[in-house]
C-alpha cells in the first residue's frame, strides 16, 4: 500500500491514531495535553489562549481535510478509525475560551467525546460530506456542541 508520509503523520496526529482501544480518544487526549502544556509554557492571557486555540483548530482543519482524504483513499476506507486529526480539530474547538485548568480541560474532553460518539442531529448528516471533509467537519460540529455546553456548564458551576 502506498503511503504519503506527510498525510499519514498529520492524519494519525503523529501516531496517536494507532492507540488501542479507542484511537479517537487517544487523539482527543493528545490534543488536550498539547493545549494544556502550551497554555502553561507560554503563559498566555485568556484572550490570547482562546485565539491560539482557535487558530490551532483552523490549522488542524486546513491540514486535516486533505490529509484525511489522502489516507482514506490510500487505505481504501471511507473513514479510517486511525485518522484522528478530526478529533484533534474538534477537541480544540471544544477548548476555545476554556480556562487552562484540569477541571475545565476534563469537562471539554468528556463533552467532546460524548458528542463525537453520540453524533446528534445535525452532526451525523455532516459525515455524508465527501472524503476528508466529511471525516473532519462532523467533529468540528461535535466540538462546537461541546464548546457551547462546556461554556454554559463552566459559567453555571
First to last CA, the chain: 51
pLDDT higher than 90, residue 95: yes
**141 three-state secondary structure:** helix
* Residue 2 pLDDT class (50, 70, 90 cuts): confident
Mean pLDDT, the chain, integer: 96
* Residue 157 pLDDT class (50, 70, 90 cuts): confident
Q: How many angstroms from the chain centroid is the CA of residue 67? A: 14
CA 90, CA 147: separation in Å to the nearest integer? 10
pLDDT higher than 90, residue 155: no
Q: Dump pLDDT digits (tens) for 19-64.
A: 999 999 999 999 999 999 999 999 989 999 999 999 999 999 999 9
Amino acid at each position: 500500500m502506498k503511503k504519503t508520509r506527510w498525510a499519514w503523520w498529520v492524519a494519525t496526529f503523529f501516531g496517536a491514531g494507532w492507540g488501542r482501544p479507542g484511537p479517537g480518544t487517544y487523539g482527543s487526549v493528545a490534543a488536550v495535553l498539547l493545549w494544556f502544556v502550551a497554555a502553561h509554557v507560554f503563559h498566555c492571557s485568556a484572550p490570547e489562549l482562546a485565539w491560539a486555540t482557535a487558530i490551532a483548530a483552523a490549522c488542524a482543519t486546513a491540514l486535516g481535510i486533505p490529509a484525511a482524504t489522502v489516507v482514506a483513499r490510500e487505505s481504501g476506507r471511507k473513514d479510517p478509525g486511525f485518522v484522528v486529526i478530526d478529533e484533534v480539530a474538534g477537541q480544540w474547538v471544544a477548548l476555545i475560551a476554556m480556562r487552562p485548568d484540569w477541571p475545565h480541560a476534563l469537562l471539554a474532553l468528556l463533552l467532546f467525546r460524548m458528542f463525537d460518539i453520540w453524533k446528534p442531529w445535525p452532526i451525523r448528516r455532516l459525515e455524508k460530506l465527501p472524503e476528508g471533509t466529511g471525516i473532519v467537519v462532523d467533529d468540528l460540529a461535535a466540538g462546537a456542541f461541546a464548546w457551547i455546553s462546556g461554556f454554559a456548564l463552566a459559567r453555571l458551576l
